[in-house]
Amino acid sequence: MKTRALFVALSSVIAACAASDGVTAGPPSSVTDGGPVDGGEHDMTSDASRVGPPSFGDSGVDSSLDSSLDSSLDARIHAGEAGAVSTPTPVTIAGKPVVGPITATAGQTISNVHVTTSSGPCITVNVANVTITDSEIGPCGAPGDGNSLGIVTIGASNLTISRNVIHDVSTGAYITNSFHPIVFDRNYVYNIRGPFPRGQMIQTNGLKGGSGASKITCNTSDAQPGIRYGVDHGAYHNVEDHINLYETLGGGASTRIEIAYNRIRGGHPTSTSGSGIMTGDGQVSSGYVWAHDNIITNVRNVGMAIAGGSNITLEANQIYQNAAVISINVGMYAYNYSAVACTSSLFLNNRIWTSNNNPLWDSGTCGLTLTGNNLNDTTLTAEIFDVQPTACN
């Protein structure tokens, strides 16, 4: 396993940015060391070499906001999902027959069960043509055990994970050395326990080859503490990156990996390197990713990023980051951590608001084009998380 272990801190918060892209073509003069703002999640065997950016806003976090917001947010979430019958919640998924653990066989459909384990992963997939659907997955293993994964793959292909509730796991789905297409769609994920380097709703590590396009779509990853759907979302919220693509390569321009319509909220209580969506992670060639129409609110450190790779587009995403709720750093960035060229990157029509006036940083190392981004969208609020995108209904 490898790591994107170079982290260089900003010496101060980037100066307030205007709404036009032109003023963010490069880092401001206050960036003294030319470094990026986030480390992301990196499939490390050890984090001893990690040097994270300084924590911005920790002293300003008002923990009382969590409890005061929960009841009203819960009501709006229920209202927003009223028509989304295909997306489960902890309430609608409850009551399935308990089984586990499961090692899938080729062509198997795992459905309408509650998979749980006292140790190790709940579901292991090392074969092709498996579907995991309409099930509750978790708790899996024990807190503190990185191997207590919801779903883990080694060499899988044509895998669909849809309409599940995944909770109390080190990582929801860990897709390793597998082949396209992998579809992760309409899952509800909470209480991600970690510990680092685990701590994702989904991470792909070495996903490439095969045929067809992989998709991560219409999922909810909720790490904001509080009671929702009658369950505690704050027992564990050790999310590093909600979505991480590590050394992952799409099939080409016509079969890009699609990350779309996901709702992402909250993050690790202390990490200095987390994010909502991290693309291009790792040291080898990666890319052909289209991340669009995602909703990201109050995640730790960074909303979305390109950390390497080529042909990666972040488009029409909404990012709201408030340091009164969680420690934040930057809304979006592009910086090449990898050992190969980072090219053909595009930030298009994104809407960002950050309370620290640090919406975007272009390091100049990824051939980034900026078009139509609103970097100070004051119409955004935390409530953008509450209504599920109509494309997911």
Q: Which residue has the tokens 């923990």?
A: 63
The predicted pLDDT at position 236 comes to 85
Judged against a pLDDT cut of 50, whether residue 17 lies above it is answered with no
Q: Which amino acid makes up residue 347?
A: F
What is the per-residue pLDDT for 16? Answer: 33
Cβ contacts of 161 within 8 Å, gap of 6 or more: 132, 133, 151, 173, 182, 183, 184, 185, 187
Residue with token string 């095969």: 210
pLDDT at position 389 over 90: yes
Name the band, by pLDDT with cuts 50, 70 and 90, for residue 34. Answer: very low
Does the pLDDT value for residue 342 go beyond 50? Answer: yes
Q: pLDDT value at position 326?
A: 95
User: How, if at all, do strands 215-217 and 257-260 pair?
Assistant: parallel
> Tell me, what's the pLDDT at 21?
43
What digits encode the pLDDT tens for the residues 188-211? 999 999 999 999 999 999 999 999
Which residues contact residue 248 at a Cβ distance below 8 angstroms, ignoring those fewer than 6 apart? Answer: 204, 205, 206, 207, 208, 257, 281, 282, 286, 289
Share of the chain above pLDDT 90, in %: 75
| pLDDT number for residue 103 | 98
Short-list 240, 119, 71, 249, CA closest to 177: 249
pLDDT in tens, 75-133: 333 333 333 447 899 999 999 999 989 999 999 999 999 999 999 999 999 999 999 99
Cross-strand partners of 301: 328
Residue 138 has pLDDT above 70, yes or no: yes
Closest CA to 221 of 278, 277, 142, 145: 277
* Predicted local distance difference test score (pLDDT) of residue 133: 98
Question: What average pLDDT does the segment 2-19 reach?
Answer: 32
Contact 106, 92 (CB under 8 A): no
User: What residue has token string 């599940």?
Assistant: 164
Cis check: omega of the bond before 225, within 30 degrees of 0: no
Residues in the chain: 393
Positive or negative CA dihedral for 296, 299, 304, 308?
Answer: negative
Give the residue-averaged pLDDT of 306-321.
98
| Average per-residue pLDDT for the chain | 83
pTM (two decimals)? 0.83
pLDDT score, position 22 = 37
Q: Which of 61-65, 87-91, 237-241, 372-376 has the lowest average pLDDT?
A: 61-65
Task: Please identify which residue in the block is written with the tokens 């880092």.
Answer: 27
Which of 151, 198, 170 has the alpha carbon at shortest distance from 1?
A: 198
**Residue 221 pLDDT:** 98
Percent of the chain at pLDDT above 70?
A: 78
